[in-house]
A = this chain, B = another copy of it.
Amino acid sequence: MSSNNYTNKKNLNICVILVGLPCRGKTFISNKIKTYLTWVMINCKIFNIGDYRRKQLGNVLDEFINVDSDFYNAENVEALKIRLNSYEQALDDMTKWFQTNEGVAVLDGTSSTREHRKWLLERLRKQHIEPVFVESYCDDQELINLNIQELIKSSPDKKDFNFYEEKIKNYIKVYESLNQFEDEKDYTFVKLMKMSNGLEQAVINKVQSYLESKILFYVMNLNYLKPSKVIWLSRHGESVYNVEKKIGGDSRLSERGLLYARKIPKLLKEQGFDEENQMTAWTSTLVRTNETAQYLPFQQVLPWRALNELDAGLCDGMTYEEIEEKYPEDFKERDDNKFEYRYKGGESYKDVVLRLEPVMMELERQSNILIITHQAVLRCIYAYFMNIPQDQSPWVAIPLHTLIKLEVRPYGACKVTLIKANIPAVSTYKEKGTSSVGENSDITNNSSRNLLTDSL
C-alpha cells in the first residue's frame, strides 16, 4: 500500500491535527480524509483523542462531565495531566504506527490552545512527522445546531441538546483559533471558515509538499458542516452485450433494459423524490447509460468521460469464456489481483480510481445527484462511500435493474437501500475462479459477493 504515484518517501510522514470547537465537523473531516487516502492507496490511521480520554477516565467518568472550563485551566494540574496523557498515549501509538507504516496519521481532538499546538508541533517534529493543522471555524448557529442534532441521533450517550450547548460554551472559554497573522503564521494549516454573514473561505498557509496540498485541497471540497445527503447510484439497464455475455462495447439497451429506464422515475417517486427537486443525472458518454437516463424528469443530464466503463482493451467485446480460452494466464492473474490487473490495452480498477478522482471531488461538493454508470465504475464509487478495501472492491456484487440509495451522514457509516425494479435481467457477476456468470437476476448470498447482498 505504501508505494503509489503521489509520493516519494520524503513527503511522508504527515500528521493531520484537527482544531476546533465541538460540533464543527472535525470527526467527519477525519473520517473523510481516511476514506479518501485509503481509496487512493495511501495509508491512513485516525487517532481519536476522545477515545483515549474515555479509556483513561473509565466509562463511568464521561469526558463531558469532566471537561468544563476549568479542565483547560493551566492551574488545574489534575485536568492538565489527564488532557496531556490522552494526547501522550495517542502520540505514542502514532509513533509505533509510523515505525511499520508510511502514510498519514490524523489526530482527531479539539487542540484548542496555541500552547497545546506548539507542544504537539515540537513533539511531532522531533520524530520527523510533519504536522498539518486543519481548523474548522464556524459561528453560524444554524449549522452548529444542525450538527448537534445529528450528534444526538447517532451518539450512544443519549445526551440532550442543552448538554452539548453547555459543553461547547465551556470549550469556547479556552478556545484560541489558529493565529494566522502572528505566532502560528509559520505552521502548515488550512483554516476553514463558515460564518453567519455568508462568508465561506479557506485560508491556506505554508504548504510544504504535494501530499499536504492534496489533503488540504480535498478537505476544502467537503461539505463538512452539512454533510447529510442522498446520492443515487445505478448501473445502466440491461444491454444487448449483457444478454450476449460480452463485456465492454457500446451497445444499446435490451428491451428489458429499456423497461428499467422507463421505471426509474417511478422508483424515485416511490422513494419520495419530488419533481420540484432539482436533481441532476451524471452518466458516462456511452450509449447504454444515456439510454437509461432518457426518461428522467430532470433538468440536467451531464455525461462524464470519467464515468465510462473500465476499458477491457483487447478483451472488449469478448465473453469471459472467450477470454479464459484465449488468455488463460491473464484470466488467472486477474482473479488473483483484480484491483491491479490491467487488461491488455485497457485499464485496471486502479486506473479507474485515478480517473474517478475529479468525479468524487465534485460529488463531495454536490447534492441531488443520480449517477448512472457501469459495473466496475460503480464498484469503485461504492467502495469509496462504504470504506471497502480496494482489494475487495472489484468483487462487490452490484446487480442490474436496481437503484441504490446512499444516505451520507455526518457520524457513522452511510446507509444503503437497494430498490429493485423487479424487471428480470441477466447477472453479470463473475465468480472468482470461474468464467461463468449467473443466469438470472436473483443474487444469492455467498462469501465472495456478500458485500452488497448483505444489504439486500
Q: Which of A316-356 contact B (CB under 8 A)?
A: 342-346, 351, 354-355
A449 CB → nearest B CB, Å? 27
A445 CB → nearest B CB, Å? 34
Interface assignment of A438: CB less than 8 Å from any CB of chain B: no
Contact across chains for A365 and B210 when beta carbons are under 8 A apart: yes
Interface assignment of A303: CB less than 8 Å from any CB of chain B: yes
Tell me the bound Cα distance from A302 to B209 in angstroms. Answer: 14
Contact across chains for A344 and B313 when beta carbons are under 8 A apart: yes
A271 CB → nearest B CB, Å? 25
Contacts of A303 in B (CB 8 A): 8-9
Number of copies of this chain that the complex holds: 2
Contact across chains for A5 and B180 when beta carbons are under 8 A apart: no
Tell me the bound Cα distance from A181 to B201 in angstroms. Answer: 9
Interface assignment of A1: CB less than 8 Å from any CB of chain B: no
A72 CB → nearest B CB, Å? 28
Contact of A358 among B3, B6, B355 (CB under 8 A): B6
Interface assignment of A437: CB less than 8 Å from any CB of chain B: no
- Chain B proximity mask over A8-35: 1 for CB below 8 Å, otherwise 0: 1111000000000000000000000000
User: Known contacts being A3-B305, A305-B4, is A300 close to B10, with CB within 8 Å?
Assistant: yes
Contact across chains for A365 and B209 when beta carbons are under 8 A apart: yes
Contact of A361 among B213, B351, B362 (CB under 8 A): B213
Interface assignment of A295: CB less than 8 Å from any CB of chain B: no
A residues with a Cβ closer than 8 A to B are 3-11, 180-181, 185-186, 197-207, 209-211, 213-214, 217, 220-221, 282, 285, 300, 302-306, 313-314, 342-346, 351, 354-355, 358, 361-362, 365
